[in-house]
Amino acid sequence: MPLNPFVLEVGNFMRYGIISDIHSNLEALDAVLGDIQGQHIDAIICLGDIVGYGANPNECVHRVRQLTDQVIVGNHDHAAVGLTDISYFNPHAKRAVMWTTKVLSSDHFHYLAELPFTIQREDLFFVHATASDPPAWNYLFSSQIALAEFEAFQGRCCFIGHSHQPMTFSLENRGLPQRIENLTCSPQGRYIVNVGSVGQPRDGDPRACYAIFDDQQGKLRLRRVAYDVQATQRKILQAGLPPVLALRLAHGE
Ligand code: ZN
């Protein structure tokens, strides 16, 4: 498919496409990029975990590098290049990380190793896991933790990934997690938004997930995009990766 480069330059951008947790799933990534092309997006931001679990790490890193220079690192990217301890990974994730390390091109390996933990753009903050301690790879599910996280970033919105479960936390709502597909941010409000996962959704919906944020209007929209799950599953099995990593994609878990 033809790709348009979304390279950020200095200045204010109106509409962000925010993608996260691609996990070497090329079919899901291409479906999302096809959808993005019709959404009048000015800039794409990638919140990390480009690799891990799936069978196309090199292809996915290549795509992301073509698309945007606004990319932060995820725990699976860091693990694949030997920068994060994988002893806490479950056995399937561990096998996938070791396989990824073996097949990654040295160019893509060095690219992943150099990615930053965070991006701040105007009053928007981007991090894979949590703003308070990015390299700790903590998960954010509860209002108690969310309220503490609001102290840890500057600006109105913090965009995260990592849990593969799209949800929104707002200060107005005392940090309670909410499932919101369309949100109009109030001008004085502050928000933490988990944009879900492109390549391995875990909220029961197998379709790829990403977010569009219109900076000027304060409008957030989650998009779900169907892709060829069976093609991805076949590749995972052919690569000799754990079958459970293929099976779970059909159920979005
Ligand atoms: Zn992930």
- Asked whether residue 5 carries a pLDDT value surpassing 50, the answer given is no
The letter for the amino acid at 128 is H
pLDDT on residue 13: 56
DSSP-assigned beta bridge partners for residue 253: none
Instruction: Output the CA 136–ligand 1 centroid distance in Å.
Output: 14
pLDDT more than 90, % of the chain: 86
pLDDT digits (tens, 9 = 90+) for 19-69: 999 999 999 999 999 999 999 999 999 999 999 999 999 999 999 999 999
- Asked whether residue 97 carries a pLDDT value surpassing 90, the answer given is yes
- Asked whether residue 10 carries a pLDDT value surpassing 60, the answer given is no
Angle between helices 57-67 and 91-103 (to 10 degrees): 70
pLDDT on residue 8: 46
Instruction: Output the CA 9–ligand 1 centroid distance in Å.
Output: 28
Instruction: Output the CA 202–ligand 1 centroid distance in Å.
Output: 10
d(CA 58, CA 103): 8
pLDDT on residue 175: 84
d(CA 149, CA 112): 26
Which strand ranges, in their side-by-side order, compose the sheet holding 167-170?
A: 118-121, 124-127, 157-160, 191-194, 167-170
Instruction: Output the CA 146–ligand 1 centroid distance in Å.
Output: 19
pLDDT digits (tens, 9 = 90+) for 111-149: 999 999 999 998 999 999 999 999 999 999 999 999 999
Instruction: Output the CA 101–ligand 1 centroid distance in Å.
Output: 16
pLDDT more than 70, % of the chain: 95
The alpha-carbon radius of gyration of the chain (Å, integer) is 17
Instruction: Output the CA 184–ligand 1 centroid distance in Å.
Output: 26
- Asked whether residue 1 carries a pLDDT value surpassing 60, the answer given is no
Residue of 4, 13, 15, 34 lying closest to 198 (CA atoms) = 34
Mean pLDDT estimate for the chain? 93
Instruction: Output the CA 194–ligand 1 centroid distance in Å.
Output: 12
Instruction: Output the CA 200–ligand 1 centroid distance in Å.
Output: 8
pLDDT on residue 109: 98
- CATH class, domain 15-251, is alpha beta
pLDDT digits (tens, 9 = 90+) for 152-168: 999 999 999 999 999 99
Residue pair 18/220 in contact by the 8 Å Cβ criterion: no
pLDDT on residue 176: 87
Instruction: Output the CA 13–ligand 1 centroid distance in Å.
Output: 27
pLDDT on residue 12: 62
- For tokens 């102290």, the residue is 151
The letter for the amino acid at 108 is H
pLDDT on residue 88: 87
- Residue 11 confidence class, pLDDT cut points 50, 70, 90: low
pLDDT on residue 4: 47
Instruction: Output the CA 50–ligand 1 centroid distance in Å.
Output: 8
pLDDT on residue 177: 87
Instruction: Output the CA 165–ligand 1 centroid distance in Å.
Output: 10
